[in-house]
Amino acid sequence: MYVVELQFECFDNTTVSAVDKAINGLMDALRYNGQVLGREFPIVMGEGEFYVRAVCPEKESLHPKHHSDFVKVCLNRLAEACLLAPKVRLLGRDLNSEQAAEEETPSWQVLYTTYVHTCSPLRSGETLLPIPLYRNPPTLNGDHKAVVKWQTEWQACDELQMAGGCRAEHAALHEICDVDSVLFRRGWDLRGRIEYLTKIPTYYYQYRVGGQSLAHEQERKCPKCGGEWLLEEPLHDVFYFKCDQCRIVSNISWDHIK
């Protein structure tokens, strides 16, 4: 990932509230298209100009060729706040984040995230590196907002269950573990939409924790079709199960991994 700085210059008198609305609207649009990552974008005010720093998947993530229709609308709205289109300056590589997957088409991909990841939840099945969302056609309604919102909710549930300090832990686990949960069904449907658009087999990650024993875990069946899905060797030290029919991957319960 790369850190960039966006510089917005004023061309006429304006107000802080108008600038705030215009810049935050653009940053939201870029986020929902996968062009910037994270959820917080502080705006720094200078002398007749404003600065925003953000993390992008690639050096060219903010190139106009990647813009969604909504990003283009938000860029045009900058003029209403008397702002010019932003100048983009690449500051350098973010050493605390993963690099994006190569642009070669993977043989399969997976919708996978955790609460510590800010990168794209769509990952190459071959390398598990994140695939920038804007490389693919819009998922729904012109951009990838549905995928980003799903990721935000999944990460919130993951953080709750990892903290384990309140009753909400069990409800959160239900959402990321059980195939009948609202979040699981929505995510699994989104992975189907992505597979349809990209023509690449796309899998959904089922989180697994608890269970009676390692032997009992290894006897688990696919939660949708009931078929055999235990792999001879785990993939990326994460996926111990893979059902090609239902497009689901899963781990052996972390409670029983040495």
Percent of the chain at pLDDT > 90 equals 82
Q: State the Cα–Cα distance between residues 61 and 1, nearest whole angstrom.
A: 10
The pTM score is 0.93
Which token pair is 221?
């069946």
The sheet carrying 109-111 orders its strands as 122-124, 109-111, 202-206, 248-250, 239-243, 230-235
With tokens 């705006």, the residue in question is 43
- Each domain of the chain, given as residue ranges in start order, spans 2-93, 109-256
pLDDT for the residue 75 = 97
Work out the number of other CB atoms within 10 angstroms of the CB of residue 237: 10
Of 77, 31, 1, give the one whose Cα is nearest residue 41: 31
Q: How far apart are CA 46 and CA 48, in angstroms?
A: 6
* Average pLDDT across the chain, whole number: 94
Q: What is the pLDDT of residue 258?
A: 63
Please tell me the distance from the alpha carbon of residue 196 to that of residue 58, in angstroms, as a whole number: 25
Longest dimension (CA), the chain: 70
Tokens 């832990």 found at = 169
The Cα–Cα gap between 83 and 206 comes to: 45
Q: Which residues contact 230 (CB under 8 A, 6 or more apart)?
A: 218, 220, 240, 241
Per-residue pLDDT, 162: 87
- Please provide residue 233's backbone torsions phi and psi, each rounded to the nearest 5 degrees: -135, 140
Sheet holding 87-93, edge to edge: 43-45, 49-56, 2-9, 87-93
Q: Which residues pair with 54 in a beta bridge?
A: 4
**pLDDT in tens for each of the 258 residues of the chain?**
999 999 999 999 889 999 999 999 999 999 999 999 998 899 999 888 999 999 999 999 999 999 999 999 999 999 999 999 999 999 999 988 889 999 999 999 999 999 988 899 999 999 999 999 999 999 988 999 999 999 999 999 999 988 877 788 899 999 999 999 999 999 999 999 999 999 999 999 999 988 788 889 899 999 999 999 999 999 999 999 999 999 999 999 877 776
Angle at 115 between CA 22 and CA 247, to 5 degrees: 105
Q: Which fold has domain 2-93?
A: Alpha-Beta Plaits (3.30.70)
d(CA 23, CA 5): 13
pLDDT of res. 210: 81
- The answer to whether the Cα torsion of 198, 104, 203, 118 is positive or negative is negative
